[in-house]
Structure 1
Amino acid sequence: MMTLDLNRIIGIHGVNIAQIFMSRILILGSTGMLGTMVSRYFLDLEDYDVALTTRAPGQESNESYIFKFDASVDEMDSLIQKVNPDYVINCIGIIKPEIDEANQQSISNAININSYFPLQLSNNAEVHKFKYIQIGTDCVFSGNTGNYVESSFQDAEDVYGKSKIGGEVVHNYKKVVRASIVGPEIGEGKSLLNWFLSQEKNEINGFKDHLWNGITTLNFAKIAHGMIKSDTFSQNHQHLIPKDIVSKFTLLEYFKNYFDIDIKINEINSDKSVNRTLNTENIEFNNLLWMNAGYDHVPTIEENIKELAESDISKGILS
């Protein structure tokens, strides 16, 4: 579609010239919760030359922009030389539900993908001079106190959180945007949203003593786009926070209301309260990220869930 539009306006030679100057974006991991949203969002844009990776059997296609890549076995440098990106967005990661802490191989795999792979990617960014966006997680913190800022001590108590600490090390050409994320997945999925949607007509519990101030995968895609479009990079961590904080019970209520799910949610206390809420020492940069992403104000969590539910991309993922 992009080429046809340019061809009609400026001719085939103009197309060739325009494509030379288009930023080339490589999205690593296009089939997980984050990667699915980010890849579909960027493919809908007409301003970039987008390449994706997948490791899922059968996901390869004849499309020239899709590359088979398994971060656990394949050579990163070879992929980078093929694509020659200006920007890389890393959506590859082993999430908490996929880690068996009683299994050493599972632990090793988590460390390899969540710690060593981002470090390898940082080194490639240094060599090949591309800019690299890494999603961070609130799970590098224990959740015992909350209100964590960028300089707070990272006191994760589980393998997932500890493995993510290694992958979030500051490096030249790399920007770590730390946030907790929710969003739709293809198929059954393992995320909070997909689990919730599978519980329709059931009765579930929502914890009022688990506090949250994360973002959606659509928010992150738009934030990444804004960073690339405005070249808003700095070599440090940035906590990305919305306007407010909610309980997990309230978050589930937002899911119920905006995804229109028939379900009963009981508001209860858990066995252990959890508060991994983030704050930031760089509130102006936080606000700038939201503005560059196209928001005219820092949105509330409810506004973000409403936007996610109404998004055509979300509907396509869940269909």
Structure 2
Amino acid sequence: MRVLVLGATGLLGNTVYRVLAERSDLEVYGTCREERHRSFFAPELAERLVSGGDLRSNDALVRLFDSLAPDMIVNCVGGRRREPLDLAASLAVYAVLPRRLAIVCRTRGARLVQVSSDGVFSGTRGRYSEDDLPDAADVYGTAKLLGEVSESHAITLRTSVIGPELEPGSGLLDWFLAREGTCRCYTRAIFSGLPTVEIGRVIRDFVIPRPDLQGVYHVAAAPISKYDLLALVAEEYAKKVEIVADENVVIDRSLNGERFRAATGYVAPPWPALVRSMHSYRFGLAVQ
């Protein structure tokens, strides 16, 4: 099976690309926006990074399919929230692109894995199931919701992620590791996402082997506060920083992953194990 990971140099895609490539029966390619990012990958993976061009263009998508003829697309483009958000650009990436991918995949007989976000919910109560009505009022959440696909050849995974970027970035992990002295962390902001390496394993080991899976599924770990999560990160990464509890932000976008568990048998490992796997897999190499 030939798999194409879109956004293979982004926060989510750089790890998903590596994890999928571990399976010898998968021929995995990825899109790369900047040539310099090839240096972050092993030679055999760097060779399979292709320039995708402007994926907002339908012509660029058609050229990709013509050149690679993938059996599956894993869309990791726009894998996290960025601020500030431009309405037109956000809709193009988060909403229009997935819809175009669904159309092209259908006409070419390919499967689409779309990664959505817990951001489709406002976060007023938490433990959201697939039956709960998305109620995001911001640009990001609304655009991500519009990009969710549920056709017979497509599956949308709602989740949230934490993990390393190729270069120092603004994601939760890189932000925290860059802190010095003291760091205020929210005790009432609840997270149920997964490390990017675990998302890769979910797609590789639970989604790809089940071509009958379609529609929207929540993929989640046990709910944990950002304070407790980053305390685990500090311990695992030997990060010397004073974590100060901050109760001012109250938000709970935690997801209920029971439907996905019932369909696949997937149960997320406990958080200490998840943080350990995130640390040891940084850039696909065991940390010494």
Question: TM-score scaled to structure 2, two decimals?
Answer: 0.90
Q: Distance in 2 between the 1:267 and 1:284 partners?
A: 33
Q: What are the within-5 Å matches in structure 2 for residues 1-319 of structure 1?
A: 23-59=1-37, 65-69=48-52, 70-73=54-57, 75-93=60-78, 95-97=80-82, 99-101=83-85, 106-199=86-179, 201-227=180-206, 229-242=208-221, 244-270=222-248, 272-280=249-257, 282=259, 284-285=261-262, 288=265, 290=266, 298-311=268-281, 313=283
> 1:227, CA displacement in angstroms?
3.4
Deviation at 1:236, TM superposition (A): 1.3
Task: Give unmatched runs, 5+ long, in structure 1.
Answer: 1-22, 291-296
Checking the alignment, whether the CA contact within 8 Å between 2:55 and 2:97 is kept in structure 1 is yes
Shift of 1:59: 4.5
1:272-293 CA distances to partner (integer Å, 9 max, x unpaired)?
Answer: 41010111451543652x2xxx
Give, in angstroms, the shift of residue 136 of structure 1: 1.4
1:232/1:68 Cα in 2 relative to 1: closer, same or farther (>3 Å)?
Answer: same
Shift in alpha-carbon separation, 1:167–1:80, aligned structure 2, 3 A: same
SS in 2 for 1:307: helix
**Number of corresponding residues:** 281
Secondary structure of the residue that 1:196 maps to in structure 2? helix
CA contact (8 A) 1:212 1:277 kept: yes
> How many angstroms apart in 1 are the aligned matches of 2:229 and 2:258?
25
Separation in 2 of the partners of 1:259 and 1:253? 10
Q: State TM-score, norm by structure 1.
A: 0.81
Paired letter, 2:283: I
Q: Which has the higher helix share?
A: 1
| Aligned-pair identity (%) | 25
Distance 1:228 1:281 in 2: 15
| Distance (Å, rounded) in 2 between the aligned partners of 1:251 and 1:33 | 18
Distance 1:229 1:76, change over 3 A: closer
Which AA in structure 1 matches 2:159? A
Q: Could you tell me which amino acid in structure 2 is paired with residue 91 of structure 1?
A: C
1:35 Cα deviation from its structure 2 partner: 0.7
Distance 1:280 1:222, change over 3 A: closer
Larger of the two Rg values belongs to structure:
1
User: RMSD across aligned C-alpha pairs, in angstroms?
Assistant: 2.3
Q: Indicate if the aligned counterparts of 1:142 and 1:157 stay in contact, CA closer than 8 A.
A: yes
SS where residue 20 of structure 2 aligns?
Answer: helix
